[in-house]
Chain A
């Protein structure tokens, strides 16, 4: 493991963002719009009835789900930068190991997703009075668990794009929206039909959002669920990395790395 090589991947993303407003803006713009939209909706719902705290529960969920999305897109967008600039041959003909590449993508994702998180936290706190970390240190564990799950999902997504070709990036963008209803972000897993609950239980986010709801409602946090969610996210990072490695080795066997833009799905 050579940390300088991983740093090169991060530095490339930093250089790209430093010189490009169009790359920096989306890091926080959509997340900020989500916070503002849901902030006003939940504030309105709080005025309609007073038995349920909509701002904390729903806005907190929106904030953390957007953070998960940022973490996932942090990985996939960094990878797409090499796709868009047809840089695969240059990158993969260097001594860079796959593990060094993935560590670089994770670090780049950390850099970009933290920017989005900070903007969301500032907006939620200043405009809607929601300081999510006031619920204690366990929120940090939930954030870390969601970050890991975002990383796992991001690595899985770029494995798919590597296998299917550049046009497959359009499968990637809607993935968090497809996942959100099953991951029980805004309601308990018990609200889902039985067969969907089984799928939800495969997603770390479903455990972590149950914990968030317990925290916000000042109920005891189901610690088993918290650790299950985090452990599952960790396992998925390993599985996704293994999947990406498989896709990469297939691309090296078939010549897809050298001729990536050819989109030869075989």
Chain B
């Protein structure tokens, strides 16, 4: 099979014009509980979008649906123009993710894990690609170390190496720097930004660190009770809603979402 990223792209279309991710009217219902309620958004290529919201807002549910491990009740997801429900395997060839709650299996070494996942993503020239990732994420010293005995920072770097192994068109990062000290978190952010700047990839990034989000994201989506409450530039959005920082805005979303809904409606009517 050819390069997995290229092969997953629609033939005859301008790659830059196809969003890395298209989500339309996405809903997930568990019994009578609506976890995600009609989400619609795009992530363009070379764009980093922050998916924010308090615990239980529907961020991880949304990410699980995009990863194909949770079936939506309604709505559609397209990765690089490929419908996930109709063509799951092909759509996922162009996706990858790293999440603090899904570390690489601790009973394999870094290299073994990268080889296994490289084969699962059908990465061409796998050995070269593994070396490249080991170099990029400074894992040379740990290449033959079992992932389970690595520190949190080293495990995060290994997970990120896995997440970029197949040069995904869409990268999902669910709290990639959670549990890291500020120095390690900064190193991870810089490495990701440096790498993402070189390739054509759309990133959906969740984090509870609002300074990090302001620093890395081009756009943010605030979720509350499964809906998008606010959307915009993380540097300008707090000012628009009369807040001094993104963190202050986050706290308002978490505690008084109704007041923000009213102010948003007011702003739109003006």
Residues of A29-51 at the interface with B, using a CB-CB cut-off of 8 Å, are none
A93 touches B1 (CB 8 A): no
- What's the nearest-Cβ distance from chain A to residue B66, in Å? 9
Does B246 reach chain A (CB closer than 8 Å)?
no
* Residues in chain A near residue B102, CB distance under 8 A: 86, 89-90
- What's the nearest-Cβ distance from chain B to residue A150, in Å? 25
A95 touches B92 (CB 8 A): yes
Does B47 reach chain A (CB closer than 8 Å)?
no
- What's the nearest-Cβ distance from chain A to residue B113, in Å? 9
Give the distance in Å from the alpha carbon of A252 to the alpha carbon of B64 in the complex: 10
A258 touches B105 (CB 8 A): no
A95 touches B122 (CB 8 A): yes
* Residues in chain B near residue A253, CB distance under 8 A: 71
* Residues in chain A near residue B121, CB distance under 8 A: 94-95
- Do A255 and B120 contact each other (CB < 8 Å), given the known contacts A2-B1, A85-B106? no
- Closest chain B residue to A20 by CB distance? B107
B64 touches A2 (CB 8 A): no
* Residues in chain B near residue A97, CB distance under 8 A: 89
A252 touches B117 (CB 8 A): no
B70 touches A12 (CB 8 A): no
Does A127 reach chain B (CB closer than 8 Å)?
no
Does B205 reach chain A (CB closer than 8 Å)?
no
A8 touches B116 (CB 8 A): yes
- Do A85 and B120 contact each other (CB < 8 Å), given the known contacts A92-B69, A93-B67, A252-B70? no
B69 touches A257 (CB 8 A): yes
Give the distance in Å from the alpha carbon of A255 to the alpha carbon of B133 in the complex: 31
A95 touches B120 (CB 8 A): yes
A87 touches B64 (CB 8 A): no
* Residues in chain B near residue A91, CB distance under 8 A: 120
Does B15 reach chain A (CB closer than 8 Å)?
no
- What's the nearest-Cβ distance from chain A to residue B4, in Å? 8
Give the distance in Å from the alpha carbon of A220 to the alpha carbon of B95 in the complex: 59
A257 touches B1 (CB 8 A): no
A2 touches B107 (CB 8 A): no
B122 touches A5 (CB 8 A): yes
- Closest chain B residue to A89 by CB distance? B102
Give the distance in Å from the alpha carbon of A203 to the alpha carbon of B222 in the complex: 57
The bracket for how many chain A residues form the interface is 20 to 34
Main secondary structure on B side of the interface with A = mixed
Does B104 reach chain A (CB closer than 8 Å)?
yes
B105 touches A96 (CB 8 A): no
A95 touches B107 (CB 8 A): no
Does A11 reach chain B (CB closer than 8 Å)?
yes
Scan B87-121; emit 1 where CB is below 8 A from any A CB, else 0: 01110110101010110111111001001110111
B119 touches A258 (CB 8 A): no
- Do A7 and B119 contact each other (CB < 8 Å), given the known contacts A85-B105, A252-B71? yes
Residues of A211-238 at the interface with B, using a CB-CB cut-off of 8 Å, are none
B120 touches A5 (CB 8 A): yes
Does A16 reach chain B (CB closer than 8 Å)?
yes
- What's the nearest-Cβ distance from chain B to residue A147, in Å? 25
- Do A95 and B89 contact each other (CB < 8 Å), given the known contacts A2-B1, A252-B70, A257-B69? yes
Give the distance in Å from the alpha carbon of A249 to the alpha carbon of B69 in the complex: 9
A16 CB contact (under 8 Å) in B93, B108, B119: B108
* Residues in chain A near residue B95, CB distance under 8 A: 93
* Residues in chain B near residue A87, CB distance under 8 A: 105
Does A170 reach chain B (CB closer than 8 Å)?
no
B30 CB contact (under 8 Å) in A15, A255, A258: A255
A96 touches B69 (CB 8 A): no
- Residue positions of B touching A, CB distance < 8 A: 1, 4, 30, 60-61, 64, 67-71, 88-90, 92-93, 95, 97, 99, 101-102, 104-109, 112, 115-117, 119-122, 162
10 closest A-B pairs by beta carbon, nearest first, are A8-B119, A85-B105, A93-B67, A94-B120, A95-B92, A95-B89, A258-B64, A89-B102, A257-B69, A95-B93
Q: List 24 A-B contacts (CB under 8 A).
A: A5-B119, A8-B117, A12-B105, A15-B108, A15-B112, A15-B116, A85-B105, A89-B67, A89-B101, A89-B102, A90-B102, A90-B104, A90-B105, A93-B67, A93-B97, A94-B117, A95-B120, A252-B68, A252-B70, A255-B64, A255-B70, A258-B64, A258-B67, A258-B69
Q: Add 18 more A-B contacts to A4-B122, A249-B71 (CB < 8 A).
A: A4-B1, A5-B119, A5-B120, A8-B117, A11-B115, A15-B108, A15-B109, A16-B108, A20-B107, A81-B107, A85-B107, A86-B102, A87-B105, A95-B4, A252-B69, A255-B61, A255-B64, A258-B70
